[in-house]
Structure formats: C-alpha cells, structure tokens
Structure 1
Amino acid sequence: MASPLSEIPDHLLAEIFLRLPNPEDLVRASVACVSFHRLATDGSFLRRFRRLHAPPVLGFLWAGGMFYPTLPPHPSAPAARALDLAADFYFTFIPSYYRWTVQDIRDGRVLLEGDIEKDERPPVFKDLAVCDPLHLRYVLLPPLPHDLAASLEHPFPMVSEARCKEVAAGEATFRVILMANCKTSLDAFVFSSSTGQWEAAASKGWSDLALSEGDMAKMSWVHPYILRRHYAYGCFYWDWVEFGRKKLLLLDTRSRKMEFSIADLPPGEWSRKGGIAIVEAGEGKLGMFAFHGETSSDLSYTIARNKGKSPSQ
C-alpha cells in the first residue's frame, strides 16, 4: 500500500514543491496540512523557491509615488490590480510623506529620499527611509555618523545616491548603499537593518579609476543624474558612455569587503544618446542591451561569457 504524502520525508517533499510551476500552486499546497504549511513557509525553502521562480511583473513605480500596474492580457494583471488597491504608493503612512521621493525598489521595499525646501541649502546627504507600501511599515534611517562624514574630502552636495539591497529574501532585513561623490574620490557606505548602523564600505580615488582631470570635473555635476545605474547578480554598474568611454564602474556587493573596479564594455557600438541596459541573462551571465537610434531595429543585445564578473564579450 502506498504511503500518504504526509509521510514523505521533508527533503523529498521540498524537491517536489520546488518543481511546482508557480507561487499560486505553492500557496494551495501549503493549506493542505500543517506539515505542508510548515515546509512551504520555511525561510530557507522560500529562498530556494524564489531563486527558481522569477517574480511576476506587477508594474512600475514613478519617482513621485504614482504606481502603474501591469494591464491585461498580461498574466500578472490580476495580482497587479490587487496590489494597486491594497498598497499605499503615496506613502501617507510616513511622517511628512509629501517630502519623500522614490530612489530605488527591491524585493517589495521602497527606498525614499527626503526632498529639501526651496530656500534650503542643498545638503550633502539627505534623509532616507525604507518602507513596505503593502504592509504600511517603514524605517527612518539615522544620518551618516559625523566621523564617517568627516572622512570625506570635499563631498559635492546633492550628488550622493542611495540604493536598497536585500540581504535575505523573505526576511525582515535589508541593506542600503549610499554613494558619495567627492572631489578626489568615490566612497560608499552601508546601512544594515540588522545592526541599525552605518559603516564605511568602499573608497576609490578617481585617479585609481583611470579618470582624467576633465572627467573628474564633469563627474562633479553629472553624477548621479546622468550616469545610468544597473544591478545584476549582486553588483551595481554605472556606464561611462556619457564620458565617451567604453567603460563601466562596478561595485561588487557580494562580499563584506565591497570594492570598486572598472570593466570594459564588449566590442560594438555604444551610443551616448541611447545608452545601455544590463540585465541578468541566466546561468550567471550578463545581458546587455544597446539602443543606437530611433527604431526597434536599432536595438542590439549581447551576452557576456564570464559568469557576471565583467561584461566583456
């Protein structure tokens, strides 16, 4: 006589659940019995499941807080509509919500930056908050400690940028990476929700990044408004096509010791006007899109062959 499903060992049951075609099937399986629910809600299992099942495209969030849900006939349209009705994308649950603008979105969390009043002097670092607009939760980040801010040499006001990075999907932890553009160097600081503190993460002199004095002068006013930022496989990329150079600035966040480095673009046409986009192409490879003109025929695509370490062809 065959054994009931409840007697299947957890490690085999997990392999079965991992092969379910979509998250809705996992939800239905989890309500079958207590043991199924315990396995399906386990943090380590959910991380494995999410790595194998790409999240649905639910929509786009504008910097001012306007959410544009995915529309029919896209299969994610019903979930996107439900999210639009349930979440607060105007951030009215945060004090002085009218002051905040969207900086980054990752794994259900939104990173917000405080706007300044018209008559205020532009600060080097603005107020930051991380929020969950669906469950109406938020964390106001403390300011960068004085000793860390004092270590910067001539930081330019209003040219820092912050990016939210998830530490463990499905868990209530996150990191925020703050970039500081200084006269002689590029610096990064990391806030961890686990410790509630900022710490220095990476620093690199502009000369070490092979930039000329003219490039550094231009960087002082274009970063980060013109330089385009991309994220793939735990790394942030900024393209320097705007400088007329086929280079990428890379910040590797996969280890505790973050480092800046330079990567070459693959051979090809890289236009200042069209720019590029970097995506995860699967199997650890980077995919790169380049737009060279005004029609879809001017869009090219290439896949790097080195498992995400550098986008070189």
Structure 2
Amino acid sequence: MATTKKKSASLLTEIPDELLAEIFLRLSDPADLARASVACVSFRRLVTDGSFLVSFRSHHAPLILALLDRDGFHPALPPHPSAPAARALALVADFTFSFLPGHFRWLNLDVRDGRVLLSRGFEEYGLPGVFRELAVCDPLHRRYVLLPQLPDDLAAMVDRLLTSPFLVPLSKDEMAAEEEMAFKVICLAHGKTKVAAFVFSSSIGQWQAAACMFWSDLALDMVDSATMSRTNSCYLRRHYAYGCFYWDWLVIHKKQLLVLDTRRMEFSIANLPPGGWCTQGVAIVEAGEGRLGMFGLHGETASDLTYAVVRNRGESPSQWQMEKTISLDSGYRCYIKAVTERCLLFMRTKALPGSPRLIEYFTMDIKTLQLQRVCAKQCKTWLPGIMIYAHLFETGVYTNFPPSLLPPRTV
C-alpha cells in the first residue's frame, strides 16, 4: 500500500508545469490553491510565481479581506467566508504603516491589488487637500515607495489646485511584464477654470501631464464649474469600468458624470438615466459585453436600489435601460461606499435619530445580488443623534490572496 501511494505521488509531481498550471487555474477557491501550495516544493514554486498569480487573478476575484478608512483597518469578520484569511492577514500585515518614515499621520487615499496609497501633508478643516507627500506601500510585506512631489510647472497648469490622487488598475500584460511590481497613480487636479490629470508610473519614476480641459469645453456652466472647482477630494466618489474613471459630482443637479478615459487620456461628460438619485451615491460597474451598468439609491432613507444598463456598447452612455429595483431595509440609512470588480460596498446605519452609533458594512455581488456582512464598527464622529461626515470619507476595500500565497515582492 505504501509503495502504491509513493508511486501516485511521484506521478503527480511529474506532471509538466504547464499542465499543472491549467489544473490550478480551475480551482474555484483561493483557499484550495493555498492548500495545494503546501503539498510539495514544486507546487508552491508554481503557485507563488508572479505570472501564475496574474493569470489566476484574471480568472478569480481576490478575497475581500478588510476595509480601510480614516479609522484604520477593519478585517472581515465571521460568518464572512474571508474571515479566516482576514485573521491571518491581521497577524502578519502592518496596517498602522509604522514602517513608513516620519511622525505625522498617514491618511488612506486608495486601495488596489494589495497596495495602499497614502498621503501625508496639508489638511484643511480635517479634510485632505493639496498633497505634500504620497506613498504607495504593501502593508503585507512592509515595503513602500515615496513619490516625488508634483513639479511646480505641472501644478501651475491648474489654478487653485485641489488634488485627488488614486491608484490605477494595470492591464494583465503590464502586470505580467513587470512581475506585479509596477504601479501607476493618477492625480486629478481641479481648479477654477479647468481640470487636469497627472500620471506617475513606477517604470518612469516621475510625474507627467496626461490630460487637461477647461470646464467650459465640457459644456458646464459657471455654477457647475464653480461647484466642481471648490469640491474637496473627499467628496469625489470615483468609479472604474472598462478603462475609464467616473466621478459623480454632478449626479444630483445635472444627472451627469465626469469621465476620464485612461486609454486615450481624455475628459468627457456622460449622462445618467432619469430619476431622483440620492446623495448617498451611485456606482458604475461593468455589466458584461462591454456595456456599463449603474446602481443607484432612491427614497428618503435610500432604501431602494435601482440597477440600469446602457443599451449601447463601447461608447459614452446615452440610452439606459432600467433592469430591476431592489428594496432594502427601510429601517436603515444606506450609502454606497465603494465598488470593486465583483461587488458593491454598502455602509448602513439606523435611520432613526438617537439610535446606536453602529456602522455596518455589507457587500453585494454585482451578478447574483447576494448580500454579505463584512464587518461593523462604532462611529467616531458624532453629534447628539446625528452622524457627521462619516459617509463622506473614502473607504477602501482591501482585496488580495491569502498571505500564504503571496511571495515577497516590492512595490
């Protein structure tokens, strides 16, 4: 019997790496991949290879392990299926960012692909404004890159500079070519008369001007452009789909979105479907077949969630088709906080004044519409009976593979 087992194990390890990779790519759960990686040295070498993980990520969504906001790190809690991996992450990663230099507090600006974009510097009334210093870091491996300041000649392109830096998704080819060590940051700068985008690429190591346009060229009137030039970066809800970023500054009054196409580096304005969209936000998603989808909240307490899809494909959205309306619990006030490739992140609180100061976070699968509770926290910014500003600040979704699958790397 022992000889038979030894022979079977030998035959399994003699399978060519190309065939093993195809087998491992078809595992539905990253936890199964982690278990396979501890079977033998050759399996682990294959599973933790950067190019294999790029392919696996393109077939499977990374686990939602934690949320990051101004109050810190909030791991997924049971019964969420990612809770065990989140617990392991909390033990080995440093989300206090103590490995970064300096004594001032670093603020979370964005989270993507296991990396965190942080800012340290100027604050106006406690809200992020013009940045002095940015860092991209990997809290799991405690590594970071400090970004240079935006050069004066670029900053001079926009008057009354307010900035909103964020991480940019890399294409599969870019990730494979750089073995997952590359990253890009876009800084959206908006002033009195124009909006501009500056790009920092780790492969180049410097900021470059990418796009610039006058508000008037975007067919915005004086009132709209003045509002957008005064808008602080914490109010800029950002969405990404099919190579474009969308901001919902103009949802309430104009039923429009500001769009930045990162492939052509061009700004434009996109129209939303008619309807009374709430200030609690909308979410632009990839609906499949190259078409955009949009989730939006309705009702006095944002208790109705509507889903619409663009009829046209590959163009600026113009004709929307309402797909369905989902009724949420009317006893809670809901906010759309973030959107990933596969799900929406909701924040909810009790709708009645004087209710417990508990904030709960849920994800909704974009395809199945299944809700899952991620975690909860006590709100730290309160006046009697009223929650102040908590819904305005960024909440990043930390998605990654289990720590056991991630080899040491740099950012």
Tell me the TM-score normalised to structure 1 length.
0.85
Asked if the contact 2:239–2:247 (Cα under 8 Å) also holds between the matched residues in 1, the reply is yes
| Inter-partner Cα distance in structure 1 for 2:131 and 2:90 | 31
Asked if the contact 1:153–1:182 (Cα under 8 Å) also holds between the matched residues in 2, the reply is yes
Asked if the contact 1:227–1:242 (Cα under 8 Å) also holds between the matched residues in 2, the reply is no
Deviates more, 1:300-309 or 1:209-218: 300-309
Asked if the contact 1:274–1:293 (Cα under 8 Å) also holds between the matched residues in 2, the reply is no
Q: 1:161 is paired with a residue of what secondary structure? A: strand
Q: Which amino acid aligns with 2:257?
A: L
Asked if the contact 2:123–2:129 (Cα under 8 Å) also holds between the matched residues in 1, the reply is no
Partner of 2:136: 130
| Structure 2 residue 75 is the aligned partner of structure 1 residue 69 | yes
Q: 2:107 is paired with a residue of what secondary structure? A: strand
Partner of 1:227: 236
Partner of 1:183: 192
Partner of 1:262: 269
Partner of 1:98: 104
How far did residue 61 of structure 1 move? 0.8
Partner of 2:34: 27
| Inter-partner Cα distance in structure 2 for 1:242 and 1:296 | 15
Partner of 1:249: 258
Tell me the TM-score normalised to structure 2 length.
0.66
1:186-225 to 2 correspondence within 5 Å?
Answer: 186-225=195-234
Q: Which amino acid aligns with 2:274?
A: G
| Inter-partner Cα distance in structure 2 for 1:117 and 1:220 | 17
Asked if the contact 1:241–1:270 (Cα under 8 Å) also holds between the matched residues in 2, the reply is no
2:25 to 18, 30, 36: 18
| Inter-partner Cα distance in structure 2 for 1:45 and 1:298 | 41
Deviates more, 1:171-180 or 1:88-97: 88-97
Q: Which amino acid aligns with 1:26?
A: L
Cα distance change on mapping 1:41 and 1:81 into 2, 3 Å? closer
How far did residue 262 of structure 1 move? 1.8
Partner of 1:162: 165
Q: 2:245 is paired with a residue of what secondary structure? A: strand
Asked if the contact 1:277–1:289 (Cα under 8 Å) also holds between the matched residues in 2, the reply is yes
Bigger share in strand: 2
Residues 35-66 of structure 1 show CA distances to partners (whole Å, capped at 9, x for unaligned) of 544433333332121011111111211124x1
Q: 2:77 is paired with a residue of what secondary structure? A: coil
Cα distance change on mapping 1:228 and 1:153 into 2, 3 Å? closer
Q: 2:79 is paired with a residue of what secondary structure? A: coil
Structure with the larger RCO, 1 or 2 (CA within 8 Å, 6+ apart):
2
1:114 to 110, 120, 124: 120
Partner of 2:147: 141
1:54 to 47, 61, 71: 61
2:298 to 292, 300, 311: 292
| Inter-partner Cα distance in structure 2 for 1:190 and 1:250 | 16
Q: Which amino acid aligns with 2:52?
A: F
Residues 100-143 of structure 1 show CA distances to partners (whole Å, capped at 9, x for unaligned) of 11111111111111133789xx9744311111112111111101
Q: Which amino acid aligns with 2:187?
A: L
Cα distance change on mapping 1:118 and 1:50 into 2, 3 Å? closer
Matched residue count:
304
| Inter-partner Cα distance in structure 1 for 2:196 and 2:143 | 30
Asked if the contact 1:246–1:264 (Cα under 8 Å) also holds between the matched residues in 2, the reply is yes
Asked if the contact 1:273–1:292 (Cα under 8 Å) also holds between the matched residues in 2, the reply is no
Q: 1:299 is paired with a residue of what secondary structure? A: strand
| Inter-partner Cα distance in structure 1 for 2:270 and 2:123 | 39
Q: 2:192 is paired with a residue of what secondary structure? A: coil
| Inter-partner Cα distance in structure 1 for 2:308 and 2:220 | 26
How far did residue 241 of structure 1 move? 3.5
| Inter-partner Cα distance in structure 1 for 2:189 and 2:296 | 28
Q: 2:235 is paired with a residue of what secondary structure? A: coil
- % same residue: 61
| Inter-partner Cα distance in structure 2 for 1:308 and 1:221 | 32
| Inter-partner Cα distance in structure 2 for 1:46 and 1:306 | 34
How far did residue 191 of structure 1 move? 0.7
Cα distance change on mapping 1:44 and 1:270 into 2, 3 Å? farther
Structure 1 runs not aligned, ≥5 long: none
How far did residue 71 of structure 1 move? 1.1
Q: Which amino acid aligns with 1:210?
A: A
Q: Which amino acid aligns with 2:296?
A: A
| Structure 2 residue 88 is the aligned partner of structure 1 residue 79 | no
Q: Which amino acid aligns with 1:179?
A: L
| Inter-partner Cα distance in structure 2 for 1:174 and 1:128 | 13
How far did residue 295 of structure 1 move? 5.2
Residues 73-122 of structure 1 show CA distances to partners (whole Å, capped at 9, x for unaligned) of 11111111222232222212112253311111111111111133789xx9
How far did residue 219 of structure 1 move? 1.3
Cα distance change on mapping 1:103 and 1:153 into 2, 3 Å? closer
